[in-house]
Each structure stands twice: as C-alpha cells, then as structure tokens.
Structure 1
Amino acid sequence: MKGPGPAVAALPGVNGAPSVKSSGEDAGPSPENGAETFRVEERQAPTETGTLTLGTVEGTLDGPPVFSPDGRLLALPGAGEVRVWNVAERRVTGSYPLRDPGHGLAFSGDGRTLRYLSGTGSVVSLDVAGLPAPSDTGRTATFSGNGRFAAKEVGDTIELTDTVAGRTLGRIAAAGDVSFDAGGRLLAVTGDPVTVWEVAGARRVASIDAGGAVLAVALSPDGATLATARGSALETWDVREGRRIKVYEGAADAALAFSPDGSTLAAGANLLDLRTGKITPLALAVPANVRTTPTALAFSPDGRTLAFGLDGGRVLLWDVYERVPRGTLGTGTTPVDELRFSPKGDLLAIDAARTSLWDVNTLREVGEVGSWAAGPVFSQDGKRLRGVTLDGTVRERPVDPALTAQEVCVRAGGPLSKAEWSRLIPESGYRDIC
C-alpha cells in the first residue's frame, strides 16, 4: 500500500508485549513494485528483524497499521475504509468502511473486534471474528446460479456441497475452472479433455476433447450446450452428443457467461448470437486511465442487463436490448473477481478486495458484507449471500434488512436502551429495532 512515508507496525513479541524497531530508509516502499514494507521484530527471535511485504495495494495510509494481539491480522486504515490482512496468507481477508473516523484503530484483547472512535465521539466496533485462519485447502470455489450447490477445489479434486442441506455430495477426480448450469444439475471442468459431471451423484456424464488446453468453460442454463475458450477460438459443443456445434475464431476469452434463455453468449467484450452466429463487439466506454479487460460477467435474471467486471476495478452495466451503457459502478482499483445479480435483479453483488452490494436502478452502493475467498452468491430467496472462506467453509450473511436487524439483536442480547442509544448513536433518533 502506497503511503506518504515509511510505516511501522507493532507485532506482538514472544511474551505478548508489542515490540517495534525504528523504520529506516530501507523500510520504505519498493520502487520496483510499489509495495509497502514493514520492519518488525520476529516473534520467535526478538533480537532480530524481518521484513513483511504485503504486496501492492492502491491507496494511502491514513494512520498507523495495527496488529491483532496474536499477530494473525494486520489492519491498514485507508481513505474511507480499513483493510484487514491475514499475515500468514499475505492477502486481504476483510474490508470495512470507516465512517467519520476520529482516532486510530485498536483491536480488542481477544482480537475478535476492531474499534475506532468516530468524529461524533461514538465507539464503532467492527466484527472481525469471522475472518478465518489460513488453510492449505478449499480456497477456490464456484456456486450454482441458484446458490444451492458449491464446487470447492480441494487438492487435485473438487468437492461438491449442498449448501442448503449442509452436506457433502462427494468428490470428483478433476481440477480446474468450473461452471454450473442454472439449476446446479451439471458441472463442467476445464482440462484436456473437458469433463461434465452430474452434481447429485458426482458422476461423469460427458468427456469432450477440445484438442488442447482449455482456458475457460461455461454451461448453458439448461446444461445442453458447453462453451470452451481454447487459444483464440471459442467453441460451442452439444453436451449430450459430445459434438462440436460451431467455432468462433478470435472470440475466446477467460470471462464467459450465457444469457438466461441460452441464446446469447458473452465472451469478454463480445456478444455472440448463438442462433445466427453473429458476433457483436461492445465498446466499453470508461476513462482513459482505467483498465478495461473484462474479468467477470453476469446477466440479470431477465437477460436485459449485462454486467462487466473489469481488471481496473470498475463494473459497467450494459443494456443488451438497446446496445447502450446503463452506468458505471466504482468499486476501487482491485480487479473484479465475481458478479452476481439477486433473483429479482434489483441488487448486484460485486466481489473484489471487498464484497459490496449495489442497487442496480440507482447505481448506488447499499452495503458491504465482508470478504470471502470465493463467492458471493445469493440464496434462492435473495435474502442472504453465501461465500467460501479461506478455511474452506461455506458461510452466509443476511442482506435482507429484517434478517440483518434480527441478527444484530441476537448478538447484542436485545435492544439498546434509550440511554445507550443516546451515548452510542447520538446522530440518530432512538428506534427499537428488536
């Protein structure tokens, strides 16, 4: 993270006491990669120093970085947000908004809460207890369109999970990028050959030899058609017969998505009409300094809107019928990993360095739900978001206002009294939300 100058972070020492060494000139950002380097004492060798390089993150440091008591997490305050790093993983595991921060950050004694004093004098607490410990398995996953099934990479296999029933369906002997059909009945996995599996029985039902390494795959909503990107060619296949339907030269892209009715395939910034074979390039209008390579695609449930997630961190909404842009969402500078519309199409979940929720009609951000290793996806009723954490478990967060209020009340053990409300939330009138 690029800051105004060298930064120093206190890492808990062997006996739990913070220990810090002065930061010299060699502790500043690397001119080669822009990474911020923190010089700290090693926990097991307090007389020696080591270097913790987190990587390149756009933005500025608005205060000193803070370690959790056990040294597992590192909080970096920036402009309008704080990013929480998992030190062992060298990656962001959570991003939280800073609303009118008045003073610096501090972890609670058990490391489960991150607190700061707002400009109005209120203590704001951020729950970081759900951020997982590092794990060597289950870091990537894909969900079916209806949010019920998850395909989680575990070593050189893929574990299939029914997230509603909370049970494992089995493992398949394959590894690579995956794609579900709309209902989660079938799963396609990249490889040579590409394989298609029945989710319920974890049974292979098709093997398609595309003639070489496949970059990406996508299954049509009904599971009848498979799209593969190999080299510069995008090919469509009849899954049942294993027969190539058509080759689209020069249209291959790592980002693929079928429209809900299966008639259109988005491949990067191209729209392919699968009935006529026509390819329509779309001009993605963004500022000149923004990277425009699509990294994620998603159609709205009615098929009218196509969302483009870009490697420059923005999301473009495109009217497919009128062939005109609908608007741009600014999520930061981190590449967009995943896009998911809610079942009603009124919300869009964007997963980048953080997972944010946006109102599609007003183009405004309406909330954050933390960060995951993979996901997110809406539940079938649209009231919750599911994701896979770094430790490989599937977790969900409420996005429905009523469910959110209910969860807060359970955690708090009941409603705030008027006196507590006046002390903690003086900027808002009292309400009994429980």
Structure 2
Amino acid sequence: MGTVEQCFEERFSFSPGGRLLALTTEGSVRLWDVAAGRENTPIRTPDVEEISFSVDGALLATASQHSIGLWRVETAVGLFGYATAGEVMADLRIDQDAGRIRYLSGASESQGSSVHTLDVRSALSDAGEEAETAMARFSPDGTLLASARWVPEDGSVRWLLRDGRTGAPLYMLPREPCAKQCDPLLAFSPDGRYLVRGARPSPDDLGTRPRLELWNVEQQKATTTLDPPGGAPAIDSAAVGPGGQWVVATDTRGPAEYWDLRTGRPDAVPVTGVSGTPVPRPDGRMLVTSRGHVVDLPSGVQSFKALGPGETTALAFTADGTVLAAADASGRVVLWDGSLTRRLGTLVPPLGTRYITALAFSPDGRILADAAVGGEVQLWDLHTNRPLGLPLPTNGDPIHALSFAPDGTTLYASGQHIPFQRFDIAPPTAAARACARAGGGLTAEQWRSFLPGIPYRKTCP
C-alpha cells in the first residue's frame, strides 16, 4: 500500500476514528475505507506534501509548495484552492465549525513559524453537483449562463439557463436524445440574443445524427433546426453571428458548414477548409478558430494565423472587438489587435505551465481573467502585461467559463461541479483581505525598520 519513504516522511493520514486512510502519491491522494476494505475515488492533485482530515472525516486538506486545497472525501471534488508563493507548509488543520484552514508557513529553508488562516466558509456553503457539467458559457454581457451535461440514465443531453449574476436557474431547454456518450455544444451570439446548441455523439453511435438548434433566448423557443448535409459524421464546435444571422459548424472529420439564416442558404460562404473552435468578432465580420483559421465575413476570404507558440485552448475578444486573446496549453496568452495584423504582447504564467480553459476581458478591456484546468483563476493588468497578484482562491474545480460584472469589480465563473462562483475583485476588498492576512499594517517601528528614511503612513485601517 505505502512505501518506506512515505511512512518516514509521514505522507499518510488516518481520519479521526481511523475509518479512512489517505496516502499521497506523485499525482494524487489515494483514499481507502479501512472498515470496508475498499479503495475510494482518489483525489487528483499533484505533488502533495501535507494532508489532514476534518474531525468528521468528510473533508481533506492538502498542501504542496504551490497550493492549498480542500476536498470533499466522498466525491473527491475540490471545494477550495489557494495558490501560494513557494512556501513550506506544515501542520494543516481544518476548523469546520469556523470555516477555516490553519497552517504553519515559512520560507523554503525553514520549517514554518508563522500561523496562517484561510477563510473557506463560502466554499463549504457551495453545494456542488455530483453530476459533471460538460460545458458552460456566459452570454457576452454576462447576464445569462448556459450549461449542458449528458445524462446517461435517460440517454439525453440537458441544457439549463441561469441568471449570470446570481446563478439562479431560469429555465430548462428541451432535452436532446443521445443514447451513448455525447458531448454538448453551445455558443451565444455576440449580442446575446441567440444560443446555438447541439450534441456531438460518440463515433460508435451510428443511431444519432448530429444537428444544431438555434434558440431565441428572449422568446424561449427554437427558431431553426440545422441538419448537416450529407449526414456529416460529427459536429465538433459551432458559432452563431449577431442577431442569429448565420451559424458556422466545424468538424475535424469533415468539412465545415455555414448557414445564412436570412436567406436559408447553406454554404452561402465557403468555409470548407476551416477547423477548430470558432469564435466570432463582436461585429460578426470576422471568424477566428482555435486552429488559426481566419475567415472574413461575408466575403468568405480565408487566411491562416499562428495565434501562439502552442495549441490554442481558449479565445476571447474584448467587447469592442479591438483585441483578441489566444491562450495555449503552456499557459501563455498572446494578445492581438482585432484585425489580427499586429501582435500586442504575451502574458507569461509566473508559476509554470497552466492549461488554460477559459478567458474573459473586463468591460473596459484593461484586465484579462484566465482559468486553468486545475481551477486556478489569474487576473492580468493589460497595461503592464503582468499578473495582478497571486491566483484567486477557488475550489479547484475545472472552470468552463468566466465573465465580469459591468463595473469590473466582480468576476463570475462556472465549473465542472460548482456551476456558479462569484469573486469580489474590487481593490478595497483586496486591500482589506491583505490586511487581514497580515494581521494589520506596519507599525511605526516596523516601518522605520523596513523603510528607513521614508515618512510613516498608515497602511491598513
């Protein structure tokens, strides 16, 4: 079960009462129900050095040199994640009643002499969902959140529309039959008035034909059903233009399709060679895909642009369409002008490789938020192209979509198990959080010690 090294370094832990056993490995924390004699679902998180159960054994805290996590043991679902700056952490403790994680921390060469406290009350209050959400998208203005998941019990794909500012469910869209594993597809039009949705059947599911449906969000009804001509084997991704005027569907195993919904003509614009996830510029006059295909609309003139050094994993335009962000599997984000003629800069992750899953610009275009597959959310100052502090504390749940509030002071996220999260990123809130973590600002004596010759001023209220 364990190795001598693991025992020597105490990289295992029993829950209070001894019913559960946790053991760290290189890429996960393995869990056993000792009483039942069976292994439970492992917690997928790498390089864990410290673990600790809650008093009731329902929660497990983990720590590595770069992060602290909180997990629900029964489902192995992450509830909270907090990025650290290469500290050495020890003596993790979960105070479930107070909603806190406490730990000792110090520099890399020390054993940890400073007590730190993390507030995890909001993470514990998030109910979470055992069923995984396969896909989620915010409308461009952030007022709506659409999500989809495949339900094997009844062989269907289900779509749900939520309030993008509160997370409250608004209504369910009609189910789409899909007997075997299906990957949902969905995308909002740039004006948020329409939603294109569909289901991609598994390759061996010959009984389900791929199709797309255009949904009028305000009227809560389908306006058009689109069947790929010739019985195309699959639809990988789709995009819809402003006002629902056109729909593009791409497929790695066949030609892309374009429907002009004003005239009803398929292939009104030739897009045969286009592949990858398509994203329209907000004015609807350009389409960019994750594979670097650029299509001018409505002329259909195509070009190719290497958007970044690696595989593009996420794309986003600013609200006015003047800047495009392209993220890749290494965590780098390349910024382009809206016509893709000029490279504006590159955002380089400070903590190594991060597979980016979602991007969002603030309404004024000055801040970019990105989310990685491990649930980390990082804010970037686009004036300096530098990160705004450490990643935000999250639940570690893989994130599908991000959106800013109109005033830019709140960030919203939708993940695989936690369908809706809210982050207060207003500067006063960040300052208050920093002061609380530091135990207050510098005293006059500390100021003289660290900043000699500079007049003292109060740094925290």
TM bin (shorter chain):
0.7 to 0.9
Whether the 8 Å contact between 1:257 and 1:267 is mirrored in structure 2 is yes
Q: State whether structure 2 residue 408 is matched by structure 1 residue 382.
A: yes
1:123 and 1:137, CA in 2 relative to 1: closer, same or farther beyond 3 A?
same
Q: State whether structure 2 residue 205 is matched by structure 1 residue 216.
A: no
Report the Cα distance in structure 1 between the residues aligned to 2:29 and 2:366, rounded to whole angstroms.
Answer: 42
Q: Which residue of 1 aligns with 2:147?
A: 152
SS in 2 for 1:251: coil
Q: Which residue of 2 aligns with 1:261?
A: 283
Identity among equivalent pairs (%): 25
Q: CA deviation at 1:249?
A: 2.4
Worse-superposed segment, 179-188 or 92-101: 92-101
Q: CA deviation at 1:350?
A: 0.6
Report the Cα distance in structure 2 between the residues aligned to 1:335 and 1:313, rounded to whole angstroms.
Answer: 5
Gaps of 5+ in 2: 108-112, 152-156, 177-183, 200-209
1:256 and 1:37, CA in 2 relative to 1: closer, same or farther beyond 3 A?
same
Q: CA deviation at 1:105?
A: 4.9
Q: 5 Å matches for 1:111-190?
A: 112-119=99-106, 121-131=113-123, 132-137=126-131, 139=133, 140-153=135-148, 155=151, 156-164=157-165, 167-174=168-175, 176-190=184-198
1:241 and 1:91, CA in 2 relative to 1: closer, same or farther beyond 3 A?
farther
Q: CA deviation at 1:91?
A: 5.2
Q: Deviations over 1:335-392 (max 9, x none)?
A: 2111111111111111112111111231211143333543221112222111235655
Q: Which residue of 2 aligns with 1:337?
A: 357
Amino acid at match of 1:115: R
Q: 5 Å matches for 1:357-372?
A: 357-367=379-389, 368-371=391-394, 372=397
The partner residue of 1:80 within 63, 66, 70 is 66
Q: State whether structure 2 residue 306 is matched by structure 1 residue 280.
A: no
SS in 2 for 1:130: helix
Q: Deviations over 1:83-126 (max 9, x none)?
A: 44444444555431224635415133217322233438543222
Q: Deviations over 1:370-420 (max 9, x none)?
A: 3354322111222211123565553311112135457899xx8xx977799
Whether the 8 Å contact between 1:159 and 1:171 is mirrored in structure 2 is yes
- The two structures have a TM-score, normalised by structure 1, of 0.78
Whether the 8 Å contact between 2:308 and 2:327 is mirrored in structure 1 is no
Whether the 8 Å contact between 2:367 and 2:379 is mirrored in structure 1 is yes
SS in 1 for 2:244: coil
Q: State whether structure 2 residue 250 is matched by structure 1 residue 229.
A: yes
Report the Cα distance in structure 2 between the residues aligned to 1:185 and 1:145, rounded to whole angstroms.
Answer: 10
SS in 1 for 2:50: coil
SS in 2 for 1:402: helix
Q: Which residue of 2 aligns with 1:107?
A: 93
Q: CA deviation at 1:162?
A: 2.3
SS in 2 for 1:173: strand
Report the Cα distance in structure 2 between the residues aligned to 1:408 and 1:205, rounded to whole angstroms.
Answer: 50
The partner residue of 2:211 within 171, 193, 216 is 193
Q: Deviations over 1:316-353 (max 9, x none)?
A: 22334433362143264342111111111111111112
Whether the 8 Å contact between 2:106 and 2:114 is mirrored in structure 1 is yes
Q: Which residue of 2 aligns with 1:327?
A: 346
Report the Cα distance in structure 2 between the residues aligned to 1:349 and 1:405, rounded to whole angstroms.
Answer: 19
Q: 5 Å matches for 1:81-96?
A: 81-90=67-76, 92-96=78-82
Q: CA deviation at 1:186?
A: 1.1
Q: Deviations over 1:10-29 (max 9, x none)?
A: 1414x3x58758x7xxx855
Report the Cα distance in structure 2 between the residues aligned to 1:235 and 1:285, rounded to whole angstroms.
Answer: 26
Amino acid at match of 1:251: V
Whether the 8 Å contact between 2:190 and 2:242 is mirrored in structure 1 is yes
Report the Cα distance in structure 1 between the residues aligned to 2:332 and 2:60, rounded to whole angstroms.
Answer: 26
Whether the 8 Å contact between 1:195 and 1:204 is mirrored in structure 2 is yes
Report the Cα distance in structure 1 between the residues aligned to 2:93 and 2:359, rounded to whole angstroms.
Answer: 32
Worse-superposed segment, 80-89 or 374-383: 80-89
Report the Cα distance in structure 1 between the residues aligned to 2:285 and 2:413, rounded to whole angstroms.
Answer: 29
Report the Cα distance in structure 1 between the residues aligned to 2:192 and 2:433, rounded to whole angstroms.
Answer: 29
Q: 5 Å matches for 1:26-37?
A: 29=26, 35-36=27-28
Q: 5 Å matches for 1:277-356?
A: 277-286=300-309, 292-319=310-337, 320-324=339-343, 326-330=345-349, 332-352=352-372, 353=374, 354-356=376-378
SS in 1 for 2:269: strand
Report the Cα distance in structure 1 between the residues aligned to 2:254 and 2:59, rounded to whole angstroms.
Answer: 42
Q: CA deviation at 1:166?
A: 6.1
1:158 and 1:323, CA in 2 relative to 1: closer, same or farther beyond 3 A?
same
1:54 and 1:392, CA in 2 relative to 1: closer, same or farther beyond 3 A?
closer
Whether the 8 Å contact between 1:81 and 1:95 is mirrored in structure 2 is yes
SS in 1 for 2:423: strand
Q: Which residue of 2 aligns with 1:401?
A: 427
Q: CA deviation at 1:215?
A: 0.9
Q: Which residue of 2 aligns with 1:42?
A: 33
1:392 and 1:49, CA in 2 relative to 1: closer, same or farther beyond 3 A?
closer
Q: CA deviation at 1:278?
A: 2.5
Amino acid at match of 2:190: A
Q: CA deviation at 1:305?
A: 2.4
Q: Deviations over 1:228-249 (max 9, x none)?
A: 1123423222234443222322
Report the Cα distance in structure 1 between the residues aligned to 2:303 and 2:72, rounded to whole angstroms.
Answer: 43
SS in 1 for 2:228: coil
